[in-house]
Structure 1
Amino acid sequence: MIDKFNIGDVVQLKKVHPCGENKWEVMRTGVDFRIKCLGCERQVWLARREFIRRVKKVISTSSDDSIKK
């Protein structure tokens, strides 16, 4: 599994959120991850280990390189 995630990436989790959506946007990275459901826009904090375990695949990556500079 990919261990490098960037802000703005859209990921698919293994389980579906209660609203019916399984696509999430990465809002914050680091020791903890903040992700936002793209269905109901609820934000959830997960520990890095838990986030990596739950990710099924990366759907799209952020193309904004200005954050890295």
Structure 2
Amino acid sequence: MATPLTYNLHDIVEMKKPHACGANAWEITRVGADIKLSCTKCGRGIMMSRFDFNKRLKKILEEASQKED
């Protein structure tokens, strides 16, 4: 069984299908039972269950910096 990807708040991820505006990069803006994503091009927000997010996630493009000093 493959190990699941670990993702955090404000990571930039790529999904299997692009958004209608043409961008394929999303920022994670909420993590919980549901995942909230914002399109990096047009700013549109969507929510999906963690199960659906894990199925549709292709890869993590950029990890959020852990430094918030």
Band the TM-score falls in, shorter-chain normalisation:
0.7 to 0.9
Q: How does 1:45-60 map to 2 (within 5 A)?
A: 45-60=47-62
1:25 to 24, 27, 42: 27
Q: How many residues align?
A: 65
- TM-score, normalising length from structure 1? 0.88
1:8 corresponding residue in structure 2: 10
CA distance in 2, matches of 1:64, 1:19: 30
- TM-score, normalising length from structure 2? 0.88
- Alpha-carbon shift at residue 15 of structure 1 (Å): 0.1
Alignment pair present for 1:39 and 2:41: yes
Query: Higher helix share goes to which structure?
Result: 1
Q: Percent identity?
A: 35
Q: How does 1:56-67 map to 2 (within 5 A)?
A: 56-66=58-68
- Alpha-carbon shift at residue 65 of structure 1 (Å): 4.7
Q: Point out where structure 2 has 5 or more consecutive residues left out of the alignment.
A: none
Q: Which runs of 4+ in 1 moved over 3 A?
A: none
